[in-house]
Amino acid sequence: MSESLPPIPVESIASRIFLVRGQKVMLDSDLAELYGVETRSLLQAVRRNSHRFPPDFVFQVNEDEWKSLRSQIVTSKGRGGRRYLPFVFTEHGAIMAATVLNSPLAVEMSVFVVRSFVKLREMLSTHKELARKIEDLERKLEVHDEAIIGLFEAIRQLMEPPAEERKQIGFTKEP
């Protein structure tokens, strides 16, 4: 095998991972670029090995999904006017694509792609855990807030000067 590639920052690959249909995916053109092949070559390899690519590995986006993806892609990557809707690859699809391309670069790059998907998964789980902890704190604060408000109300009542007893005017009957 040729000499090893320098490590690619996970963030550079993670920035190419998008959420479509509730799944983290990469565009066919991004994956092809990472694997050092043309997009049409990648898709041709996928078509030749279609039995290895079930719908949860690779699927073609619809028009609405493509519009949403284009709005997520901040910088132009030279995709220009595509004549067809792109295909997207899930983590498993990206690994399978590396195996059907069978090039040393694709196999080596698949390691970086997998690490990126894993890093993204870890980041999402960390955010979910943090969100849960914040919700727990908010609930506790609400309970404490009510207790503190009650405490202040009791202190205010204690601070009010006692009402002086008035002497009755007029005649009273002594016991």
Structural domain boundaries of the chain? 10-121
Q: Can you read off the two tokens belonging to residue 51?
A: 């039995």
Q: In the chain, pLDDT over 70 holds for what percent of residues?
A: 73
pLDDT tens for 113-168 read 777 777 777 776 676 676 677 777 777 767 667 777 777 777 777 777 666 666 66
Residue type, 121: R
Alpha carbon of 150 to those of 8, 14, 161: distances in Å? 58, 50, 19
Higher pLDDT, 12 or 84: 84
CA 35 to mean position of chain CA atoms? 25
What per-residue confidence (pLDDT) applies to 47? 93
Q: Tell me which of 58 and 139 has the higher pLDDT.
A: 58
Distance between CA atoms of 43 and 113, rounded to whole angstroms?
Answer: 18
**Digit-coded pLDDT (tens) for 26-36:** 899 988 888 88
Q: What length does the chain have?
A: 175
